[in-house]
Structure 1
Amino acid sequence: MTVKHFSVEYDKANEQGSYSPGDILSGKVIVVTSKEIKVQCFLVKAKGKAKVTWTEQDRQCTVVHSDKKKYFYFEHIILQDKNKGDGSEIMGAGRNVYPFSFMIPNNDMPSSYKGKLGAITYSLRAQLTQSIWLVHKTKTEVPFLTRAEFPFASKSEMIIIGLKEQQYATRITFYGSGKVTMNVTSEQMGLKQGEVMGVSVEVLNDSARSVTPKFYLCEKQTFVAQSKKAVHTNDILFGIGESVPAESSQTITKVLSSPPEIHPTFFNCCMMKLEYTIKVTLDIPLVKDPEVKLPLVILQGVPKPQQRKQKRSIWFKKLAG
């Protein structure tokens, strides 16, 4: 192979290496060749898209639900032969660097995200065509952050929600042996990536059984394709309290630490959304566990620098006929 190296790279726009709507996405395509080569077409593309796909069994057949949305697509031709296929453009031997830049539309677009059944991706792709049977391709994903301050509600709704206010809920459960009441309180409804807050449960156990509180951070991913909906949930245990004996009461507090890598809540994608809740359950022997759920909004914190994921260039042959 005469093409020894083929890659596309983006420039670091900030400390996090991420881009947002309205930014100039710039970078370079690097080609290293062992000798002079003829080129039919050489181009670079920038694309932002969301795509969801999942399958369901319907009697004897498998049904595929899929949909996609394109946020932007740009294409820049670096080299192209003059007579459509005669290979009249020449690339010199050695290391060749070709800069490029694209203006990202200043529209409301969601941040990069990879979920169970779909993803929101922003990428750069380069393609070098030497002949109809020899094509080189390379791709890299670009980390993208929305500029929406609240990608899950309008500002008027945010005033009503009150993310910094304390919230609480009560659950009373009756058993043959008595009554159990739990009052759950969280310090606030909104939490930034990497922040911590206390979650408390007051247990009034008037039953003849001991009960044990458990604390969960619950994630809910919702995907929509062609009017069909699929939901994926994941519960992360972050605390187990001491058992509350029969005929007693106790208040237990656990600290919820929001992982820095957790993805913020978002609704600003028509095909998927991400929500969180705090769930507190009481583990009661031989009885279905009662539970209380409180809404939780994960806010964008200060993101960590991203590591670029560069895919190796590939080439393939097309056989005539």
Structure 2
Amino acid sequence: MSPIRNLTLTCDRDGPFSEGDAITGTVSFHLTKETKVKSASVKAKGDAHVHWTEGSGDDETSYTAHRRYFKDKQFFVAENANDRVLPKGSHHFKFSLKIPSESMPSSFKGAHGHIVYMLEAKISRKWRWSSTVKKELNFLSKSVHTISRRVCPQSGSVNKKLGVFSNKEVQMSASVNRDVCSPGDTLSAFAKVCNSSSKSMRFKFSVLQKTVFRASGSTNTSSNVLFKAVGNTVGPKSEATCSCNIKIPTSAIYNMDNCEIISVEHVLKVYLDISFRVDPEVVFPLVIAPSSSTSPDEEVEPSPFGAFGAPSYSDFPAGSGVSQYPAPVPTQPANPASGYEWPQNAPSYGFSAAALAYQPEVQPPSYTSLFDDCQGAVERSDLDQKRT
């Protein structure tokens, strides 16, 4: 039985640690008797590793990549010395290790890889198994703090014909009030559609996390749904608007672009779910960073809404007409077009009072003021139908 008991590794602070920081602490253990020790040390290291397989049987191919970011080691019993005899009793050794100042990625664990920063203490004896203890460090790269503190709205639009020989089309424009946020933040997204087709469709909003693993010139991509919500139904030959409060989970991973073999990015998708058709969508890049990088005190500059010339976000109640659902388990792949049903008793158009996140003092403008061109087209279409 080993005379080394209660080997522990304690840091003076829990972290998170970043580039250039010192890791200080104490290695402690108790000896039940006088013991010869070959060497004793503590080391810190940071590594990124990815691995996955494709195919099966004889066609199975494995992909592996590894990156070592740093390693620092300190001996409290020299390795090249003759066996040192340590007396019976409790022992405590202070240590101080340095993290290099070069940019390194944050701690990460994913489906096909991880980035781990580890602290390890080891006591070696001749002809005996070594005694070791490990402690994982929480590492947050300084690169995530370099993101601009200025957050800006984004907007976009899409037109889609339904049918090769049809002149009936769907026009949708969408906008989000910021492009940089933090875990736990709430974004405001807005969308409106002019549907001159004979198809019904529904608004949908989702936030996706895309992780790319790279090895041997190949890539493996996984997508997780962080948020999903379903809005009102838009009937044939009609127009509608919808706004949504988008809650970023507190467990969301920060964007990462300073690792050669693993990268993480996020997008916000606003789209229309149309049966048996490719869904029209507007996709916005979204940066998730620590709160210090996304100060709410920064002024947000307005930007054009898109082809429809929509009003500002403050004119519409965030969350109107949107039913929010829990996101799938993070390890599940994203599937934005399935799995969520709009309640049967919800109204077909406009805003659902039951789904309001809050009731603002400013009332939404009329649809006529929002869709002058589109409204006129729909009214003329209805008039032509009555004449015939």
Q: Give the TM interval when normalised to the shorter protein.
A: 0.7 to 0.9
% same residue: 28
Offset, 1:119:
1.5
Change in CA separation of 1:295 and 1:244 when aligned onto 2, cut-off 3 Å: same
Partner of 2:76: 78
Output the CA distance in 2 between the equivalents of 1:69 and 1:82. 29
Aligned to 1:210: 200
Corresponding position: 1:142 with 2:143: no
What is the distance in 2 between the residues matched to 1:293 and 1:273?
19
Query: In 2, distance between residues paired with 1:211 and 1:260?
Result: 31
Q: Deviations over 1:124-147 (max 9, x none)?
A: 011111232321111111111112
Pair member with larger Rg: 2
The match for 1:281 among 271, 276, 289 is 271
Task: Give the corresponding residue for 2:209.
Answer: 219
Residue of structure 1 equivalent to 2:110: 115
In 2, distance between residues paired with 1:147 and 1:81? 35
Q: Which residue of 2 is the match for residue 314 of structure 1?
A: none
Q: Secondary structure at the match of 1:60?
A: helix
For 2:109 and 2:129, locate their aligned partners in 1 and report how far apart those are by CA, in whole Å: 32
Unaligned runs of 5+ in 1: 153-157, 304-321
CA offsets 1:276-301 (integer angstroms, 9 cap, x no match): 10112222223333322111111222
Give distance in 2, aligned partners of 1:7 and 1:204.
Answer: 66
Q: What is the DSSP-based 3-state SS (H/G/I as helix, E as strand, rest coil) of the residue aligned with 1:148?
A: helix
Hey, what does 1:62 align to over in structure 2? 60
Q: What is the alpha-carbon distance in structure 1 between the residues aligned to residue 105 and residue 200 of structure 2?
A: 46
Distance 2:146 2:221 in 1: 20
Structure 2 residue 154 is matched with structure 1 residue 167? yes
Q: What's the RMSD between the two structures over aligned residues?
A: 2.3
Asked if the contact 1:151–1:268 (Cα under 8 Å) also holds between the matched residues in 2, the reply is no
State the secondary structure of the residue aligned to 1:243.
strand
Change (3 A) 1:232 1:81: closer
Where does structure 1 differ by over 3 angstroms across 4 or more consecutive aligned residues? 80-84, 149-152
Aligned to 2:177: 187
Q: Bigger shift: 221-230 or 168-177?
A: 168-177
1:102 alignment counterpart = 97
What's the secondary structure of 1:131's corresponding residue?
coil
Query: Matches of 2:288 and 2:80 in 1, distance apart?
Result: 53
* TM-score, L = length of structure 2: 0.69
The Cα shift of 1:242 comes to 1.5
Tell me which amino acid in the other structure corresponds to 2:140: L
Q: Are the counterparts in 2 of residues 151 and 266 from structure 1 also a CA contact under 8 Å?
A: no
The count of residues paired between Structure 1 and Structure 2 equals 289
CA contact (8 A) 1:163 1:188 kept: no
Cα drift, residue 150 of structure 1: 5.4
* Aligned residues of 2:37 and 2:85 also touching (Cα < 8 A): yes
How big is the shift at 1:12?
0.7
Q: Relative contact order, CA 8 A, sep 6+: which one is greater?
A: 1
- Aligned match of 2:384: none
Equivalent position amino acid for 1:126 in 2:
A
Does the CA contact (< 8 Å) of 2:43 and 2:71 recur in 1? yes
Q: Which runs of 5+ in 2 are unaligned?
A: 294-388
User: How far is 1:247 from its partner?
Assistant: 1.9
In 2: Cα distance, 1:261 partner to 1:237 partner: 12
Query: Deviation at 1:180?
Result: 1.7
Q: Which residue of 1 aligns with 2:334?
A: none
Contact 2:27–2:92 under 8 Å retained in 1: yes
User: Which structure shows the higher helix fraction?
Assistant: 2
Deviations 1:60-116 (A, max 9, x none): 2322211212111111111147665xxx32233333221100121111112111122
- Structure 1 CA distance for aligned equivalents of residues 199 and 220 of structure 2: 38
CA distance in 2, matches of 1:301, 1:181: 36
Q: Which amino acid aligns with 1:47?
A: K
Q: Is the 8 A contact 1:39 1:80 kept in 2?
A: no
